[in-house]
A and B are shown apart, each in its own frame.
Chain A
């Protein structure tokens, strides 16, 4: 049998630039590479010497879609160095901001990036002709995420109002109440999206690596815990130890560094599927029911199920944020305190910020001098962490499809679907 080479240059419908490179020789997979072809964007170098309050502003520009997460992660790193305790109201607003980007990200990824593969389309736009109702509702969900980010952060991309210690601006009470109603109204469509994505056929593969997600007792945390969990090995660690636990390494075929668990040398996946596996029992009621109905329960190890997990998270986010908006409007108890920035003292030190960005665990490690200027910075993005697992799963799916005698075109399509299921952001990965 001859040699078959599958190349996809500039994978479409993902953020950033990446090529897929697979070589099959005599029915065996010889090469299976995810080439991140963007050069490093040098963020870690650019923030050196800059004052601390530039860091969230600059780091936000790592990624257009999870800019809120980069801002909050940087703020957490800085606040841990200065010993700043923000109010519960600030934490609630940050959660809304982070969740707004979940709505944007998941709706964009599921409908604009992933769905066309399963519907046999090159892009989402033909959907407007075929099923205008679905197109409109999908884009309305994305718009609702933008609206949430805009009301809380000042605009849909690169939030303005979130600063060290709190927020410079907050929307009025009526805005929270109006948002809560809109979020409630969108739940039914999100539930139907869970069913829709479960109905799409995907290869039956099991990932060999681990899962990494934020963890907290009795909650589905996204930005207010410092504990991380490797779901399969059961290893827990504090975000401050991230450099000791996670190892980054270079691959010559990728502009982005890869990552693995230092102890086990295991590749791992982070993102919606990892979170659902880690905190399934803490999903909101409607989300849990929707997940159970389609059989998404831990441990779910098929990486294609990340699409379904994102749809389940859409339901969870809507229900959770509607409640949060009503609580912020009421402003009672622990949410009665102001979100205005609390005073703080600049001091030298090292701090790690950790959040669950829409695409998975995000870590910022900052070292500041006495004037609050950056000495060193290190950013670990979800996509960089996912690359090793993505390559291993690509190999698994190619081997399976070669055994089944599938055509090169069919294999290429399934590999592209797999890469998109991971919801990669290559431009993030080369920060």
Chain B
């Protein structure tokens, strides 16, 4: 794969970038704009070809990098991500919805009964709805910015790697290590359920630092030992059903949990 920052003659050219939002709250796209003071520096490195949230310009035929926010919840979105994969040399998924199906993924269980709980008759405008799935259930992805919502500076960091290349691998450790480094006390000491035990680290345990347990928005860590974590939670007086309910908030569609059942 050619490095998109340089053209054939070795001359530096700005990579052409598109930003696409699927089913989501748009909060991660907003977080990108929330890097206000650095926004022009970021935009200065790229050739932003399409960003519906901020600009009228239509989707171009050719581009190098696709940034995708949101979960796939209908056939149009599925076609869109396949098209993006065909055209882009690098695909970055941002936010929990695109990474794990996130909050929209909560609807995956018993999905086809759910629309009738909201509508008497499902409007035509909804298109052909699909059970919510993360982007990587449809296409391979190259880079991830995790969390709900993403951190703007985390986004800038990953974008730099996508633009300029990096062989840095993703940390897959769980959140508990971050609390140890922060020297913060553990929620389990007060018998409070916290998903730091199994959740991919990387936010610095932001919620715990502000007095709330981890809800798992960065997704289940590949290293997580769910059975052992559940057993540990039970030892601290947590009902195992509560533990599993909590885990489904952001990991409903994770195949690792399905295998576990």
Contact = CB atoms under 8 A, between A and B. Distances in A.
B227 interface: no
Nearest to B248: A50
A125 interface: yes
B123 A58 contact: no
B23 interface: yes
Given A36-B125, A37-B127, A250-B121, A54 B54 contact: no
A160 B73 CA distance: 27
Interface string B70-87: 000110000000000000
A137 to B, nearest CB: 11
Contacts of A62: 25
16 contacts: A36-B125, A37-B127, A39-B126, A41-B107, A45-B107, A125-B40, A139-B39, A142-B33, A142-B36, A155-B206, A160-B206, A252-B123, A252-B124, A255-B126, A427-B25, A427-B26
Contacts of B232: none
A158 interface: yes
Contacts of A251: 123
A169 interface: yes
B161 interface: no
B149 A155 contact: yes
A125 B77 CA distance: 27
A300 interface: no
Given A128-B40, A156-B31, A163 B125 contact: no
B149 A158 contact: yes
Interface stretch (B60-68, B112-120, B138-146, B166-174): B112-120
B117 A64 contact: no
Interface string B81-115: 00000000000000000000011101100000011
Nearest to A47: B106
Interface in B223-238: none
A255 B54 contact: no
A10 B56 contact: no
Interface string A245-275: 0000011111101000000000000000000
Contact of A253 (B122, B125, B129, B149): B125
A13 B125 contact: no
A38 B107 CA distance: 15
B256 interface: no
Nearest to B217: A158
B244 to A, nearest CB: 12
A289 interface: no
A94 to B, nearest CB: 16
A323 to B, nearest CB: 25
B148 A158 contact: yes
B210 interface: yes
B251 interface: no
Contacts of B23: 38-39, 41, 427
A124 B40 CA distance: 11
A157 B149 contact: yes
A57 B215 contact: yes
B210 A169 contact: yes
A122 B55 contact: yes
A156 B104 CA distance: 21
Given A36-B125, A122-B55, A252-B125, A45 B36 contact: no
A284 B212 CA distance: 35
A154 B28 CA distance: 16
Contacts of A334: none
A123 interface: yes
Contacts of B117: 42, 44-45, 48
Given A124-B54, A161-B210, A169-B210, 5 more contacts: A39-B74, A42-B118, A45-B117, A160-B212, A257-B119
Contacts of A143: 34, 36-37
B53 interface: yes
A15 B53 contact: yes
Contacts of B33: 108, 112, 142
A117 B120 CA distance: 38
Contact of B56 (A44, A67, A123, A255): A123
B207 interface: yes
B27 A157 contact: yes
Given A42-B114, A61-B148, A161-B211, A250 B119 contact: yes
Interface residues of A, number: 62
A157 B25 CA distance: 10
Nearest to A416: B56
A383 B127 CA distance: 20
Contact of B25 (A10, A40, A61): A61
Interface in A264-307: none
A250 B116 CA distance: 13
Contacts of B21: 17
A143 B35 CA distance: 8
Nearest to A149: B34
B123 A250 contact: yes
Among A44, A116, A158, the one with the most B-chain Cβ atoms within 10 Å of its Cβ is A158
A205 interface: no
Interface in A5-42: 10, 12-13, 15-17, 35-42
A65 interface: yes
Among B37, B56, B74, B115, the one with the most A-chain Cβ atoms within 10 Å of its Cβ is B56
Given A45-B117, A157-B149, A64 B36 contact: no
Contacts of B36: 139-140, 142-143, 146
A273 B119 CA distance: 30
A108 B27 CA distance: 13
A166 to B, nearest CB: 11
B245 interface: yes
Interface in A40-78: 40-42, 44-46, 48, 50-51, 54, 57-58, 61-65, 67
A258 to B, nearest CB: 10
B3 interface: no
A358 B212 CA distance: 26
B125 A67 contact: no
B43 interface: yes
Among B37, B104, B115, B118, the one with the most A-chain Cβ atoms within 10 Å of its Cβ is B118
